[in-house]
């Protein structure tokens, strides 16, 4: 049976959510002009929302009605929380108990380590999501109302929409220029960045930090390898991303050039944080230097933490591969990270995810180059942004033909679910080889 495997059920659930979202967005009531938005526009927007990407072929605030924006917001929340995680939580609240299949499905979505932990994980995910989104929404609503003169209702709506989009790493904005009107306002830029970073860390990390927050004596020793590795790599990538972005764009008149030192650092940090798979931008992405675009592609491809709202191959995958390279260069037999030896299975999984990601992005880029006349760096940036479910764009999304948009739809869908999840979902059954073949070593390099 197709739904017998939890990973397959997750894929099917996401597909159903996309179809439902497409149908709702195609309704005349979803468009501000009162007519149908068309199948492709509705499909693209639904996939972008469910896959928490943020790429758009129309202006979200101008094209969609209040009903349409509500559908998009709901799809973002469902996509970020996880279709099966949400279904399992609802079953828990209604019946007070979880069936085995629902537990297995939730485990596949949240990457929890044991079936017995599912109940705690689901409640923790729901609580963490609600607290972060409501706090950030309150801060943004207050700022929008006091500083920018929005009415209380309008400020609250914009604050909530932006907070949900930020924590779920979606990047959908209600303004045509996204967050560029607030590029000099840290009270808007920083809360959004904090929400993006928290969502990108992954729920296992957030829940573990909350669980050990009162254990001061244990300190970092109480953290698992996954948590320590995620926090360390996240901090490193944010620091390097900020430094490189500022260095490359410091004198660029189209981006950081006109700012003072403080605003340059603020927007450089924000740009580095958004490549963690959130599509907000406070500067013109299309005006970035080619070197910055390429560097941003690297950050977007790496993505954020596992089992969170971020996309990409995940920072733990990147760290594992880096450890394997270091071990091989040193001539060591085992790969070691933070005092722990990595199993060969983890190395194979990391290599599989990375190579499948590279292959998919390169294939999509070649296809896009054949259907559009855009520059290579812009096309590559768009492809990586879609695969990493980032949502940043140089502005060519709306210029792509129907075939190009369908390519991005595929990239977003696969990027959200993960190459390994999708492959395992399509596999008919697992096969275990009951014998070993003779070993032989080919020439490498």
| Torsions phi, psi for 410 (to 5 deg) | -65, -45
pLDDT interval class at 417 (50, 70, 90): confident
- Read off the tokens for 346: 């983890």
- Map tokens 């798979």 to a residue: 277
Is 287 within 8 Å of 260 (Cβ atoms)? Answer: no
Note the pLDDT tens digit of each residue in 357-368.
Answer: 999 999 999 999
| Residue 414: closest CA among 50, 168, 25 | 50
Q: What pLDDT does 121 receive?
A: 67
Q: Exposed/middle/buried for 142, CB within 10 Å: 0-12, 13-18, 19+?
A: middle
Measure Cα distances from 294 to 213, 288, 290, 313, 382 in Å.
38, 10, 6, 17, 11
Q: Give me the residues paired with residue 340 across strands.
A: 337
| Residue 164: closest CA among 67, 309, 57 | 309
Q: How far is the C-alpha of 393 from the C-alpha of 284, rounded, in Å?
A: 9
The residue-averaged pLDDT of 384-408 equals 93
| CA neighbours closer than 13 Å in the CB half-sphere of residue 309 | 33
Q: What pLDDT does 428 receive?
A: 45
pLDDT interval class at 1 (50, 70, 90): very low
Is 351 within 8 Å of 318 (Cβ atoms)? Answer: no
Q: How far is the C-alpha of 387 from the C-alpha of 406, rounded, in Å?
A: 13
Note the pLDDT tens digit of each residue in 118-175.
Answer: 667 677 788 888 999 999 999 999 999 999 999 999 999 999 999 999 999 998 989 8
Non-local CB neighbours of 254 within 8 Å, separated by 6+ positions: 284, 287, 288
3-class SS of residue 31: strand
pLDDT interval class at 207 (50, 70, 90): confident
The residue-averaged pLDDT of 384-410 equals 94
| Residue 66: closest CA among 128, 140, 126, 154 | 154
Record the pTM.
Answer: 0.88
Is 47 within 8 Å of 170 (Cβ atoms)? Answer: no
Residue with the larger pLDDT of the pair 431 and 164: 164
Indicate if the pLDDT at residue 98 is higher than 60: no
Could you write out the DSSP letters of every residue in 148-180?
H---HHHHHHHHHHHHHHHHTT----SSTTTTG
Residue with the larger pLDDT of the pair 325 and 2: 325
3-class SS of residue 340: strand
Note the pLDDT tens digit of each residue in 244-282.
Answer: 999 999 999 999 999 999 999 999 999 999 998 888 999
Q: What pLDDT does 165 receive?
A: 94
């Amino acid at each position: 049976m197709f739904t017998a495997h939890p990973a397959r059920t997750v894929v099917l659930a996401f597909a159903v959510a996309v179809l439902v979202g497409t149908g709702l967005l195609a309704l005349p009531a979803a468009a501000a002009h009162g007519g149908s938005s068309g199948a492709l526009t509705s499909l693209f927007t639904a996939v972008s929302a469910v896959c928490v990407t943020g790429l758009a072929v129309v202006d979200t605030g101008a094209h969609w009605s209040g009903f349409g924006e509500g559908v998009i917001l709901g799809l973002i929340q469902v996509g970020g929380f996880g279709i099966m995680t949400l279904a399992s939580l609802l079953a828990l609240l209604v019946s007070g108990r979880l069936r085995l299949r629902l537990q297995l499905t939730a485990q596949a979505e949240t990457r929890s380590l044991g079936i017995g932990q599912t109940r705690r994980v689901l409640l923790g995910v729901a609580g963490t999501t609600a607290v972060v989104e409501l706090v950030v929404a309150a801060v943004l609503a207050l700022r929008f109302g006091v500083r920018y003169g929005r009415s209380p209702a309008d400020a609250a709506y914009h604050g909530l929409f932006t907070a949900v989009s930020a924590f779920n790493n979606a990047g959908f904005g209600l303004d045509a220029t996204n967050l560029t009107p607030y590029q000099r306002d840290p009270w808007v830029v920083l809360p959004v960045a904090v929400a993006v970073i928290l969502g990108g860390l992954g729920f296992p990390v957030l829940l573990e930090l909350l669980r050990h927050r009162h254990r001061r004596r244990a300190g970092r020793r109480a953290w698992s390898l996954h948590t320590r590795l995620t926090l360390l790599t996240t901090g490193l990538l944010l620091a390097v991303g900020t430094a490189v972005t500022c260095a490359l764009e410091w004198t660029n008149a189209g981006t950081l050039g006109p700012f003072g030192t403080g605003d340059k650092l603020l927007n450089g940090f924000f740009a580095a944080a958004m490549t963690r798979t959130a599509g907000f931008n406070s500067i013109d992405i299309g005006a970035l230097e080619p070197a910055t675009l390429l560097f941003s592609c690297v950050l977007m491809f790496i993505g954020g933490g596992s089992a969170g709202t971020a996309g990409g191959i995940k920072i733990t995958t990147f760290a594992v591969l880096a450890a394997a390279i270091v071990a091989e260069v040193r001539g060591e037999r085992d790969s070691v990270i933070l005092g722990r030896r990595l199993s060969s299975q983890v190395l194979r999984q990391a290599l599989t995810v990375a190579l499948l990601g590279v292959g998919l992005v390169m294939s999509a880029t070649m296809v896009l180059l054949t259907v559009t006349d855009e520059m290579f760096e812009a096309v590559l940036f768009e492809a990586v942004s879609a695969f990493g479910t980032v949502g940043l764009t140089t502005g060519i999304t709306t210029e792509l033909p129907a075939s190009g948009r369908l390519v991005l739809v595929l990239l977003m869908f696969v990027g959200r679910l993960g190459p390994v999840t999708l492959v395992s979902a399509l596999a008919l059954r697992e096969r275990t080889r009951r014998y070993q073949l003779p070993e032989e070593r080919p020439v490498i390099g």
